[in-house]
Structures are given as structure tokens and as C-alpha cells.
Amino acid sequence: MTLKRHIPNFVTLLNLFCGSIAVLFAVNGHMKITALFVFLGIFFDFFDGFLARKLNVQSNLGIQLDSLADMVTSGVVPGIVMFKLLEMVSYSPESSWGASEGMQWISFRMPLLPLVGLFIILASAYRLAKFNIDEDQQDYFKGLPTPANTLLILSLPLIMEYQNSDLINSIILNKWILIGVTLVSCYLLNSNIKLFALKFKNWSFKDNSTRYIFIILSIVALIVFKFAAIPLIIIIYIIMSLLNTISTKS
């Protein structure tokens, strides 16, 4: 029984391990490998909860450990990715730390604008803390889950890498677009919008019609638009959740 109790926690630590590796690659601008380890981390994040339920070994320790792992994989990593994207479009000596005569004691220069990307880390931490003390979020999420937000942010460099075009790059590498995505991301993470969870209590289409339709639409979008489908899928997820909430109330 003791060993079984620690199996989900070990899987959670694999999530944290993958997230830590992703941080290292994100800092050095290797976004493809960053994405690979984030995807692995999110897989382990889903799998640890699945194991805990199947083995009937849910615990407060597991809940806290899960949030700490998510903070790295789905909090720190997207913040660094956005930092690096903003860094690509904002460097100028006039807007950097150490640029003024009064700050010459600082031995390095860094643009200030990319720090806006780190707001995602703060918003993720706040969201995870709220989630841990909110007992209502069992069958739904209040605000965008951090893994979904991470996929949204990571999709931007992946779109540029695999669907490269001057038009796409000019849109993504626009500082106002990136600032807008950052602020919207921070809002969605901590909004009160009720979003359905992809947890199946049974396989009935009637009971899970919204989930099945969303999964089918997501697969079709990924096949047609590849990585560019991820922002579209997030939008579909939010719209379907709002419609589901309206239909439930009526």
C-alpha cells in the first residue's frame, strides 16, 4: 500500500523534471526541444491524476506537489518563452537596463519590454494557488487551465518554426500582438469563466457530447492548420464552454 501511494507522486515528479529541462532549453532559445519536454510534462500531469484516481490514493500531498510541478512546466516555461519572443522584437540600447549614465554600475544591458512576458508566471502562480483552495472546480475549471495556456504560448514559436512565412512572422513578432496575448493570457488564467473539464465519468455520447465534439473539432483543426490550430482550439474551447454554461442555465 505504501509503494502504491507514491506512484502518482513519482509521475508528478517526472512532470517537474521535464519542466525543469524545458526551462533550460527555453532560456537558450531552443523552442522545439522546449516544446517536446513541455508536452511530456503535460502528459505526466494528466497521467498522475489518472493514476491517483484509479489506485484510489488521492492525497493533499499529491495536490500540492502537482501544483508545484505545474508551476514550473506550465508557469515558468511559458513566461520565459514569451520573454524570449518579446526580446526578439524589442532590443535597443535606449530601452535597456544600464543604458543611462546613472546606471553604469550595472554590467549588463537587457531590454525592459520582455519583462512583460514574465507576468504570465505571476498569473499562473496566482491561478494555481486559487485552484488549490477552490473546492468547486471538480467537474469544470474556473479560468483557463495552466497547461492549456502553456500550449497557447508555445504555439507561437512553433508556428514560426514549422509554418514559416513573412506574413505569419510579421504578425507574431509584433510587440503589440505579443503584449496583447500576454495580457489576455493573464486574464484568462484568473477569470471566472467556467470551462468544461475533459474528465469522462462514462463513455456515453449523451453525457459527454460537448467533450466529444470538442475533441473531434480539435483533431480536424490540427490536421488542417497544424500548430496554427492551437490558438483556434483555445478559442473553440472557450466558446463551447460559454455555450454549455448558457444551455445548462436555460
pLDDT computed for residue 207 by the predictor: 76
- Which pLDDT belongs to residue 103? 46
The predicted structure's pLDDT at residue 182: 98
Specify the pLDDT at position 218.
Answer: 96
Low-confidence ranges of the chain (pLDDT < 70): 1, 91-110, 137-138, 201, 250
| pTM score over 0.95 | no
The pLDDT of residue 94 is 47
pLDDT of residue 138: 64
Predicted pLDDT at 83: 97
For residue range 63-113, list pLDDT tens digits in order: 899 999 999 999 999 999 999 999 999 865 544 545 444 444 455 566 789
Convert the chain into a string of H (helix), E (strand) and C (coil).
Answer: CHHHHHHHHHHHHHHHHHHHHHHHHHHCCCHHHHHHHHHHHHHHHHHHHHHHHHHCCCCHHHHHHHHHHHHHHHHHHHHHHHHHHHHHHHCCHHHECCCCHHHCCCCCCCECHHHHHHHHHHHHHHHHHHHHHCCCCCCEEECCCHHHHHHHHHHHHHHHHHCCCHHHHHHHCCHHHHHHHHHHHHHHHCCCCEEECCCCCCCCCCCCHHHHHHHHHHHHHHHHHHHHHHHHHHHHHHHHHHHHHHHHHC
Is the CATH number 1.20.120 carried by domain 2-192? Answer: yes
pLDDT confidence of residue 109? 66
